Amino acid sequence: MRIDVITLFPDFIAQSAGIGVVGRSQERELLTVKAWNPRDYATGNYRRVDERPFGGGPGMLMLNEPLTACLEAIRGDSEIPAKLIYLSPQGQPLTQAKAKELASAERLILMCGRYEGVDERFIERNVDEEISIGDYVLSGGELAAAVIIDAVGRLQDGALGHADSAAQDSFEDGLLDCPHYTRSEAWGTEGVPPVLLSGDHAAIAKWRRQQSLGRTWLRRPELLAGRPLNKADAALLVEFQAEHLKKVKKP
Ligand code: ADE
């Protein structure tokens, strides 16, 4: 997969995409991340990339011409078609399902806004999708782009060491992840749920499923709301809820 990023801070994108799982994916050529700076496509002595908005008011917008020239250069650099995604708080929220959908594309272009944002006409003409990483305002799209690159990069085939470790992630099944415990010698086994020491793989799988369901119910009940549970899951959750109530009722 290839991800092109339009950003006034290309070093940030190169560095954040150069570490950990995503960095390794790039080394293994499962993923290529390339940052493009609109300033390189700006004209004039000052290479301006910002402009005042019509209607006045505080703040500047990104200038259309360097953005357009930068996008043309990106499109011309490869024949692989790519959606242009603009990172903004006005976008659709990023979810694991969305990350999976994006991860299946051969190529994406991410555009990071700075200042007060981008001319609406540029968005209408060029942008295929707007995505937000949450209901808060960042000072630019770079952190959001780094989040998407990470979420999408780790889903590339062969990116994760353990073949099924993506399948066990939080949200993979619409549920939160279960708790995990290290085999730390210094910490021993105290506080570790006994079932994890039992060697009984079926019992362990059942406990993990129950913890996932229970944690989702406790911490993010809205994730369970429109989601019918099968009989086995419903029984596990009822048992978790009963245990939980016993614990909280204890004086
Ligand atoms: N740019 C500024 N805030 C953002 C957000 N919450 N998500 C994506 N891009 C942004």
DSSP 31-46: -EEEEE-GGGG--TTT
- Whether residues 140 and 176 share a domain: the answer is no
- Domain termination site, one of 153, 188, 211: 153
Q: Is residue 163 part of a domain?
A: no
User: For residue 85, what is the enclosing H or E element?
Assistant: strand 83-93
**Ligand 1 neighbour 160 (Cβ under 6 A):** no
Domain extent, residue 81, equals: 2-153
Q: Is residue 215 part of a domain?
A: yes
Let me know if 154 is a catalytic residue: yes
Could you list the pLDDT tens digit for every one of the 251 residues in the chain? Answer: 999 999 999 999 999 999 999 999 999 999 999 999 999 999 999 999 999 999 999 999 999 999 999 999 999 999 999 999 999 999 999 999 999 999 999 999 999 999 999 999 999 999 999 999 999 999 999 999 999 999 999 999 988 876 556 776 767 688 999 999 999 999 999 999 999 999 999 999 999 999 999 999 999 999 999 889 999 999 999 999 999 999 998 77
Backbone angles phi, psi at 118, to 5 degrees: -125, 145
For residue 134, give the ligand 1 atom closest to its CA.
Answer: 6
- Domain termination site, one of 119, 153, 187: 153
- Domain termination site, one of 99, 119, 153: 153
CA 89, 92, 97, 177 torsion-angle sign: positive
**Ligand 1 neighbour 31 (Cβ under 6 A):** no
Distance of CA 26 to the CA centre of its chain: 17
Specify the number of domains making up the chain. 2
Could you count the other beta carbons within 10 Å of the beta carbon of residue 63?
20
**Single-letter amino acid code for the residue at 16:** S
- Whether residues 66 and 110 share a domain: the answer is yes
- Whether residues 149 and 174 share a domain: the answer is no
Identify the CATH number of the domain in which residue 68 sits.
3.40.1280.10
- Whether residues 6 and 101 share a domain: the answer is yes
* C-alpha of residue 165 to centroid of ligand 1, in Å: 28
The active-site residue, picked from 50, 51, 65, 116, is 116
Identify the CATH number of the domain in which residue 188 sits.
1.10.1270.20
The active-site residue, picked from 130, 169, 172, 177, is 169
- Whether residues 22 and 101 share a domain: the answer is yes
SS3 content of the chain, % helix, strand, coil (to 5): 45, 15, 45
* C-alpha of residue 115 to centroid of ligand 1, in Å: 12
